[in-house]
Structure 1
Amino acid sequence: MKHFVSMQDLSEQEMYKLIKKADQISRGGARPLNRQYFAANLFFEPSTRTKMSFVVAQRRLGIEVLDFMAEVSSVTKGESIYDTARTFESIGADLIVLRHQEENIARKLADAIQTPVINAGDGTGEHPTQSLLDLVTIYQEFEQFKGLKVVIAGDIKHSRVARSNAIALSTLGCEIYLTGMETWQDSSLRFPYISMDEAVEMADVLMLLRIQHERHQDHLAFDQNSYLQTYGLTIERERKMKKHAVILHPAPVNRGVEIDSSLVECERSRIFKQMKNGVAARMAVIQTLLNQGGNYNEEDFNQRHAFIG
């Protein structure tokens, strides 16, 4: 594995390897790396959980984190993402973590540079490390994936988490269902849509999503309570869930919108466990990339030239 930019790049076997590695790390099975490494976290979008869990993961592995803030960097002078990344690569960064509002930008960068690139979220594209931590959480709960019914609920169209998880979970053998407002459905994901009332009764895993307001071209005015009653997880719906079913959410949570506030930390919620697993999942990805490296090949020149142009 040279880069980590999309769940589509991974086979079922590769996913399991990362899941089990992260699970082992979460149980205390990780040591600092055996030499000094430097990581550049290039975050061009606001982030709390993803950015901070990468920092914690890197520091637990003994990696030096190179400081970067887009608003006070040469990006404000017109420097491209490629040139920014090449700068960090040139001064010794061994790893680049990129979060950006442009879809597919992580793939373009990974095709253009030598240093391993981790996609920390690219527009409405993918969020593979979030997906991995979700997979780890589900694995710890059920110890397998085959035949599990997973419902992804909410703003599907604008969610990179929905896309990454639908791809990964279906590869692992889960039955995927989607639910949400018709306006925010995504026809590119070939999975059946059901109502929220159907979802709560069938799901082994109910994965809730917030409304991605920042990615909407048309900002629809709506009543939050009405949205919760029609499309969200209310107390009444939670009572109809299977006894063993769990609730996931990538956060940040909009309490009282996609989920009743009292359910965020209820017995079946694994929302904060997901956050905890985020550190282990990112440690597993980093260890894998740095152990295997990512050597530059001259054949990459044309791809690099295309990206620069």
Structure 2
Amino acid sequence: MFSLPKNVTLIEVGPRDGLQNEKNSIPTDSKLAYIHALQEAGIQEMELTSFVSPKWIPQMADAKEIVGQAKKVGRQIVLTPNEKGVSTALHAGAQNMAVFVGVSNTFNKKNINRTTEEAVNALFPVVRQLKEKKHFVRACISTAFHCPYEGWIKPEQTIALCQQFIDMGADELSVADTDGMANPAASFSLFNNLKEHFPHTLLTAHFHDTRKLGLTNIYASLQAGVDRFDTSAGGLGGCPFAPGATGNVATEDVLYLLNTLDIHTGVDLQKVILAVDEVAPYLSRPITTAMYQLSKQ
């Protein structure tokens, strides 16, 4: 019998990862209402926005306004893909940064026009400087299980990339099933390995629900001892550089699972659903997550 964690932290990624792939332009005020409602629900860690080129991700063009106007609750994280993004984020007042690299060379080439090695080498001095200034750094490891271009990724490749970020000084590893191909056996195996390799690092699992295995992968990861999960209220999201990758696991559905297992999160399920209502009218597709749909019956 596996011993599951008694407490789990949910890192809300809806405002950033959830909205980045949304085609409709969402008003800044509605994004802020979404963020503030999630804070009201009890979320203490959240990806607010991304400091990327609005040419590539126009939805994130209001990043400075989001950081400046969001209420300062818990750990607020912004995605910063490169040195320029970090500099802009710091000037906007951001304190906690997320950087990302895919394990797959092909994914990185299509995403950031660099190989994995080139991307890591470029980030090394950036992360080191952030840590010298006492900033929190979250390392997002994309295509940790499978790449839409290269196929299955060897676990040792993922572990090696994670080790490079630990060597840089990263505080957290967010390990992602970018195109939703992971299964429970692979999830348990990889996260069990990662827990053994990095016992003193914040280890977060990031699953997409492309093939409706998101919750089963979360359960398998709980069995491996993972107690941190990226989730997106409303199941929003998908990676613009991973064909076919649909939304992240929905915060409300993950909450229901954890509540049935008597695992404490400090997050109110009904208030999360109310938060989704703040952006639902602006989305290009309806919210179809189980708990959200049940709440509307």
Report the TM-score, using the length of structure 1 for normalisation.
0.29
Greater share of strand: 2
TM-score w.r.t. the length of structure 2 is 0.30
Larger Rg: 1
